[in-house]
Each structure stands twice: as structure tokens, then as C-alpha cells.
Structure 1
Amino acid sequence: MTDLMKWFDSRRSPMDVIERLFEGDMGTSAIRVEEMVDGNTLVVRAELPGIDPEQDVEVTVADGVLTIRGERQEKKEHKEKDSYRSEFRYGSFIRRLPLPGGVQQADVKASHKDGVLEVRAPLPEQGQETGASKIPIIRG
């Protein structure tokens, strides 16, 4: 099993489920994401219909975690001769996804098209060190 496959298998913890419940991931403000590997790049796609990515969405990478955070504001009004109807939906959302070891923050890119946010993170090569190294012990 490759390091990448181990990472996919081991990255979810019971706390992820609890956090997602409290952050609205299961409710109406949830954002759906898909993750896949395209060649040597991790690709994360998130559905964000009706959201202005320049004003309402923030994508950050810190401490090996990709965070997609934003706010949804939708308002619909129906005006007719003898009636008026208004519907609105407001709410913030956040989604945190752990990244494989060795992903460089400066190499992560995000784009938005047709209501889909796409984040691309180049993966380190298989033999590349990912932050841990063996320290030699010197006898004294």
C-alpha cells in the first residue's frame, strides 16, 4: 500500500464526524466535496452554487489542513399584483480537509467555475521526505 493510499484510509477520525455535525456539514448550509488524485495532484472540488468566490469564500492552508470557509446569502422575492412572498437563507460554512504530508502551501491553487470551487495541491514524490527525519545518535 502506498503512502498516499494509507493517508486516504487513515485521515478520518471520530472527531471529524462530530466536528462536521456542529459545523453544519450535515445541514442545509453544508458544502459537498469530492477528493481525488489526478496524476501527482490532489484535487478537491466543492459545490458552491450561487456564491461569489471573491467575496464570500476563503481558502487557506495551515498546519497540513485545507480549510474552505464562507458565507451563503440567498434571497428570493416574488411580487405580484395582490401578494408578496420572500424567502431567504443565510449561514456560514466551513470544511477542513487534512492534506498529505509534504504538500507545500505555496503550491496550492484554487479556481472557481460554474459554481464549483477546485483546489489543486501537487503531491510530493514518493521518496521525498515529508518533514520527519532520523536524527543520528552520537555516543559520548
Structure 2
Amino acid sequence: MTGVTERRSNWPTLIPDLFGWVEAGIPGLHSTSGLHSIRIEESLTDGIYTLRAELPGIDAAKDVELTVTEGILTLRAERHAELTDKQHTEFRYGAFARAVRLPAGANGNDAAAAYKDGVLTITVPVPEAEAGTRTIPVRPV
């Protein structure tokens, strides 16, 4: 037995692809911009916020755009379709996008990104906030 699951072509065509529904989410809740979502992992360890994004099959140097605006990290990518004829594909081609709010105090100007084995890793330093209580003097008017 192989590890590949056989797709049953004799299933009624009226039954939608359940996995396609799970991937797409609940209809009506997503924007109609035509953008696919990007799967991510986030962590905050030792003052470094790390975001890892699944982006297999892209040329990161040409097809990825990262921006930070007002504490929002926006990731845009595009996967181009190969020009070969396919009988069946479950790959998603086109534009992908994701925006995430950076942790409070994150320094977006010092963000860095690297791409390896289909995973884009973005790191952003998050300096520790000064702890303690500050007394605010009140001036008479």
C-alpha cells in the first residue's frame, strides 16, 4: 500500500470537496479580493517576534513583498502556474496575502526575512518595556 490517498472519481459531483471547504473557510466571511490566505506560525521568545509562513513553490526574491505600517506586518506573495497541462491539481496559484498585528513595542524598522525550503521566516525585535511605576507630577494651573 502506498501513502497516497486515491481520489474517487465515481463519487457524485454534487458532493463538494470537503477539504476544499476546510481550506477556504466559511463562505461569506472572507473578502472577495480573490487573495488566498497564507498559513503562519508565530512565537515571541527572548525579545524576538518570529513569524513563519508556508510559501512553497515561489521565488522569494521576486514574488514576495513585506511591509510594516503602523504596527501591521503585511505579507504578499504570488505563485505562478506552470505552463504544462494538468489533469488534476489541488495547488493554489495566484496572489496570497496575510496581515498580522505585531506585538506592542515591536521594532518593524529592524525586521529581517529569510526563505528556506518553502518557509518564509520573518523576525522582528521587541525590546522589553521598562517595568516599574512612574510618578506623574500634577502642576497647579
How far off its partner does 1:127 sit? 1.9
Q: Tell me which residue corresponds to 2:124.
A: 121
Q: Which amino acid aligns with 1:139?
A: P
Q: Tell me which residue corresponds to 2:6.
A: none
1: CA distance between counterparts of 2:136 and 2:32? Answer: 40
Structure 1 residues 68-77 or 49-58, which shifts more? 68-77
Give the structure with higher Rg (CA): 2
In the TM superposition, what are the counterparts of 1:52-63 in structure 2 within 5 Å?
A: 52-63=59-70
Unaligned 5+ segments in structure 1 are 1-16, 79-83
Q: 1:69 aligned to 2:76?
A: yes
Q: Which amino acid aligns with 2:31?
A: F
Q: Deviations over 1:94-117 (max 9, x none)?
A: 100001121112211111111100
2: CA distance between counterparts of 1:92 and 1:135? Answer: 50
Unaligned 5+ segments in structure 2 are 1-25
Q: Deviations over 1:25-83 (max 9, x none)?
A: xx9932110001232211100011001111111011110011101222122515xxxxx
Figure out how many residues of one structure are paired with residues of the other and give that number: 112
Partner of 1:36, secondary structure, is: strand
1: CA distance between counterparts of 2:95 and 2:138? Answer: 50
Identify the structure with the greater helix proportion.
1
2: CA distance between counterparts of 1:63 and 1:105? Answer: 9
Across the aligned residues of Structure 1 and Structure 2, the Cα RMSD in angstroms comes to 3.4
Q: Tell me which residue corresponds to 1:4.
A: none
Q: Where does structure 1 differ by over 4 angstroms across 4 or more consecutive aligned residues?
A: 84-89, 133-137
Partner of 2:97, secondary structure, is: strand
2: CA distance between counterparts of 1:96 and 1:28? Answer: 12
What TM-score does the superposition give when structure 1 sets the normalisation length? 0.65
Q: Which amino acid aligns with 1:56?
A: D
Q: Tell me which residue corresponds to 1:21.
A: 30
Q: Is the 8 A contact 1:76 1:86 kept in 2?
A: no
What TM-score does the superposition give when structure 2 sets the normalisation length? 0.64
Q: Tell me which residue corresponds to 2:112.
A: 109
